[in-house]
Amino acid sequence: MADLTTNTDVLRTAGAVPVGENVDGLGTEAARRRADRRWLGLELLDVADAGPAAAGDSAASLTTRAEVTMEERHLTQLQRMYGGMGLALVGALVEETAARPLRWATTQFVGSPRHGERLDLVAEVLAAGRRTSQVRVTGTVAGRVVLTGLGAAAEANPEIPGGTLPVMPAFPPPEECEPVRLRFPPSTPPGFFGLVEIRQPAGAAEPRLRFWMRFGGRPATRPAMLALVADSVPTMVMGALGNPGSGSSLDNTIRVGSAPDSEWVLVDGIPDQAADGYGHGSVRLWSPDGSLAGVGSQTAALWFHRRG
């Protein structure tokens, strides 16, 4: 966890290459993925042929096993696994299994791993084409399924022109914003949010639909790490409708775009709807230079904050 002190913004300003990928040489994608995994605490165990291959596709039986023990950084203030962390772990494992950049991943939350529990993950490559790998992930604690994931990782296709349709909203840069003090109950550790810094313009209005966020140590714009700054939709839906509350994620989904490395990401919330007690919406995730690093979305079972 020594790389928590790395600040890639400072390094970029100085014209240097971000560090944290200094194991296999600077800047190789494999080394960058390894640095992501190390930050996430995701330990690879083995890659194996899991059984009889499906007809005509040897990739269909390729599996990768990994594990992660739930520490403070994996948890919410409620000391259960943070949803964005669950999706980040799935995304990192999809990338590693495919050895290709993550393009999309979804995680379904079935249970809630707690502090000290070991989450065992198995990734199966369901198809591996010339460019694209489709992967399925199952996560268990003591043999019981607590999450499932789906994702695709794929090589770039240089023939298709890139472009972004929405424009980054006008918003002061993080240097001109003020830290938002996150309130934690004094009796419990803050979990992942103890690592998080959030900034907004002075006097910003509630509800908090747009803010800068970083967790330090890795660029939040990395494909697998984006999920860590994308899990705020339930609070946005409740807040935008004037209700103090949040929700329990049924899923977290990330669609990866393209952005230079940045610790800071502008979280640009688009709460859509609450219906029958279930809320959904999305967040656009902008890097400071105006690039769209990706879009997160989710559906959640909504709940009110207890009134004190």
Question: Under 8 Å CB-to-CB from 227, ≥6 apart: which residues?
Answer: 84, 85, 87, 88, 91, 105, 252, 254, 296
Per CB under 8 A, does 156 bind a second copy?
yes
How does DSSP classify residue 75? B
- Phi first, then psi, for residue 252 (nearest 5°) are -130, 135
Q: Does 110 bind a second copy (CB under 8 A)?
A: yes
> For residues 281, 70, 88 and 9, what is the CA-based torsion angle, rounded to 10 degrees?
100
Q: Is 51 in the site for a second copy (CB under 8 A)?
A: no
Strand-pairing partners, residue 62, are 49
61 binds a second copy (CB under 8 A): no
What is each CA distance from 16 to 9, 13, 90, 113, in whole angstroms?
A: 10, 8, 30, 39
Angle at 171 between CA 165 and CA 175, to 5 degrees: 130
Per CB under 8 A, 286 contacts a second copy: no
* 46 sits near a second copy (criterion: CB under 8 A): no
Binding residues for a second copy restricted to 240-279, rule: CB under 8 A: 240-241, 243, 245, 250-251, 253, 255-258, 270-279
At closest approach, how far in Å is the CB of 131 from a second copy? 7
Q: Which stretch binds a second copy (CB under 8 A): 8-16, 22-30, 131-139, 168-176?
A: 131-139
Give the Cα separation of 283 and 255 in Å (integer).
10
Residue selected from 36, 282, 287, 288 as contacting a second copy according to rule CB under 8 A: 282
- As a residue count, the chain comes to 308
* Residues in a beta bridge with 206: none
Counting contacts by CB under 8 A, is residue 86 touching a second copy? no
Q: Is 224 in the site for a second copy (CB under 8 A)?
A: no
Amino acid at 36: D
Q: Which tokens sit at 106?
A: 């979804």
The C-alpha atoms of residue 286 and residue 267 are separated, in whole angstroms, by: 7
**Binding range to a second copy, per CB under 8 A, among 21-29, 38-46, 71-79, 160-168:** 160-168
Single residue of 106, 252, 262, 287 touching a second copy by CB under 8 A: 106
In the bound state with a second copy, the residue whose beta carbon lies nearer, of 177 and 224, is 224
Footprint (CB under 8 A) of a second copy, residues 163-222: 163-166
Task: Answer yes or no whether residue 154 interacts with a second copy by CB under 8 A.
Answer: yes
Tell me the window of 28-36, 37-45, 198-206, 239-247 that interacts with a second copy (CB under 8 A): 239-247
Rule CB under 8 A: choose which of 41, 111, 172, 194 binds a second copy. Answer: 111
